[in-house]
C-alpha cells in the first residue's frame, strides 16, 4: 500500500474505541498516516505506517511492525514490537528500540541510538506489502499453493480484523484541531480532544468530543454522543440523534433534531428545521387520532339513519294530515246540512203557529 500522492486514504477514519490519552493517540488496530501530514500526538497501535514527509511530534509505539517513509521526522522515541523499516533521511530525535529485524535506509539520523534484536540491514528497504506480494506471486507461479496458503495464514497471524485509524494526506492532527480536506468518520465509544474540521463529519454512538464540529457538508451526531462545543455546517444538514448532547450552538442549512436530544445553545437553520419523534410515540399518536375520526363517522351514520327515517316518515305524515283535513271538511258539511234542515223545520213550525184558525161556519 503506497502512502504517497493520492493514495487509498481518502478520509479521516477513527475506529471504535480510539482515545486520546494525555499526549498519545491510542487505538487497538493499525495506524496509517498519509504523506505530508502533521501529527502532534504520539501514535500507539498494532502496526504503524507513516507516509513520506510526515512529522510526528511525540513517541511511536507499535505492537507489530513500524514503517517510516522517506523524510519523516519523529520527535521522540520509536518502540517496535516486531520489525521496523526506515526509509532515507528519516530523523528520530529519541531512541529506536526494535524487537525484531531492522531495515534502514541511507542518511538516517537516530540521535539517541538504536537497538535491534534481529537482523540489521542498512539499505533502502522494500515496502513490506510489496515484498509479501512478490513472494506470494512466485509461490503461486511455481504451483506451491500450500506454501502460499501457509504464508497468507502467517501474515494474518490469527488476529481479528480491526478497522485501522486512517489519517489522509496533508492532515493536521493536534490537541487544538483535527483539520482534513476529506470526510471524517468517528466510530463508537471514542474520546477525542480537539476541534474537528472536515468536508463532512459522521460520529457514532457514545462518543465524547472535547471540541466543536465544523464541516462544509452534512454533520451527523450519533446517539448518546456528547459534543463539548458548537456544531456548524456551511450549507449541509445537521442531524442530532436521540440522546445526543451538544454543549453549544447548532447552525446549519437544514436541521433535524430527534426526540431526546439536548442542545444547550441556540438553533439556527437557513432552511428546514424538523423534530423527529420516537416511533412508538408516533404509533400511539396515530391510534389516538384515529379514534375521534371513528366516533365522528359513527355519529354521521346515526344522523344519516335518523334523516332517512324522517324522510321515510314524511309521506305517511302528509297522507295522515290529508285524511284528517278531509274528515274535518266532511264533518263541516254534515254540520252545515243539519243546521239548514233545523232552520227549515223551525220556519215551518213558526209559520204554522202564526196562521189564524178560521171559525167553522156551521158551528156558528
pLDDT band at 358 (very low <50, low <70, confident <90, very high): very low
Q: How many domains does the chain have?
A: 3
- Whether residue 131 lies inside any domain: the answer is yes
**Residue 286 is part of which domain span?**
279-327
User: Is 123 found in the same domain as 25?
Assistant: yes
CB atoms within 10 A of CB 281: 10
Query: Are 290 and 272 part of one and the same domain?
Result: no
Tell me: do 261 and 291 sit in the same domain: no
Query: Do 121 and 205 belong to one domain?
Result: no
The reply to whether 60 and 144 lie within a common domain is yes
Task: Tell me whether residue 66 is in a domain.
Answer: yes
50 & 161 share domain: yes
Question: What is the mean predicted confidence (pLDDT) over 116-125?
Answer: 79
**Selection from 300, 18, 337 nearest residue 173 by Cα:** 18
pLDDT reading at 306 higher than 70: no
Q: Are residues 16 and 160 in the same domain?
A: yes
pLDDT at residue 343 tops 60: no
pLDDT, one tens digit per residue, over 140-150 is: 888 888 887 77
347 occurs within a structural domain: no
> How far lies 343's CA from each of 81, 338, 350, 351, in Å?
145, 9, 11, 12
In the chain, the percentage of residues whose pLDDT exceeds 90 is: 56
pLDDT digits over 177-196, tens only? 999 999 999 999 999 999 99
> In this predicted structure, what is the pLDDT of residue 299?
44
Amino acid at each position: 500500500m503506497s502512502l504517497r500522492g493520492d493514495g487509498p486514504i481518502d478520509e479521516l477514519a477513527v475506529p471504535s474505541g480510539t482515545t486520546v490519552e494525555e499526549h498519545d493517540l491510542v487505538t487497538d488496530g493499525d495506524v496509517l498516516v498519509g504523506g505530508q501530514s502533521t501529527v502532534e500526538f504520539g501514535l500507539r497501535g498494532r502496526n504503524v505506517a507513516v507516509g513520506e514527509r510526515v512529522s510526528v511530534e511525540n513517541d511511536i509505539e507499535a505492537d507489530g511492525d513500524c514503517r517510516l517513509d522517506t523524510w519523516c521526522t519523529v520527535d521522540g522515541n520509536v518502540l517496535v514490537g516486531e520489525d521496523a523499516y526506515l526509509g532515507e533521511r528519516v530523523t528520530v530525535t529519541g531512541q529506536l528500540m526494535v524487537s525484531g529485524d531492522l531495515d534502514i535506509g541511507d542518511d538516517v539520523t537516530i540521535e539517541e541510538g538504536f537497538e535491534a534484536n534481529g537482523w540489521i540491514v542498512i539499505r533502502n528497504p522494500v515496502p513490506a506489502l510489496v515484498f509479501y506480494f512478490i513472494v506470494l506471486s512466485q509461490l503461486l507461479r511455481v504451483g506451491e499453493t500450500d506454501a502460499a496458503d501457509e504464508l497468507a495464514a502467517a501474515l494474518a497471524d490469527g488476529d481479528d480484523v480491526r478497522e485501522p485509524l486512517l489519517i489522509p494526506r496533508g492532515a493536521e492532527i493536534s490537541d487544538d484541531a483535527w483539520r482534513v480536506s476529506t470526510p471524517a468518520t468517528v466510530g463508537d465509544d471514542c474520546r477525542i480532544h480537539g476541534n474537528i474540521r472536515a468536508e463532512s463529519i459522521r460520529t457514532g454512538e457514545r462518543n465524547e468530543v472535547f471540541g466543536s464540529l465544523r464541516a462544509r457538508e452534512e454533520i451527523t451526531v450519533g446517539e448518546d454522543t456528547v459534543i463539548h462545543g458548537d456544531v456548524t455546517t456551511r450549507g449541509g444538514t445537521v442531524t442530532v440523534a436521540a440522546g445526543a448532547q451538544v454543549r453549544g450552538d447548532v447552525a446549519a442549512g437544514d436541521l433535524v433534531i430527534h426526540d431526546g436530544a439536548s442542545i444547550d445553545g441556540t438553533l439556527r437553520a437557513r432552511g428546514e428545521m424538523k423534530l423527529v419523534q420516537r416511533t412508538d410515540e408516533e404509533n400511539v399518536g396515530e391510534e389516538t387520532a384515529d379514534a375521534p375520526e371513528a366516533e365522528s363517522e359513527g355519529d354521521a351514520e346515526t344522523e344519516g339513519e335518523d334523516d332517512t327515517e324522517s324522510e321515510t316518515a314524511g309521506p305517511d305524515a302528509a297522507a295522515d294530515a290529508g285524511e284528517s283535513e278531509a274528515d274535518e271538511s266532511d264533518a263541516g258539511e254534515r254540520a252545515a246540512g243539519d243546521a239548514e234542515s233545523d232552520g227549515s223545520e223551525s220556519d215551518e213550525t213558526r209559520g204554522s203557529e202564526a196562521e189564524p184558525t178560521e171559525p167553522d161556519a156551521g158551528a156558528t
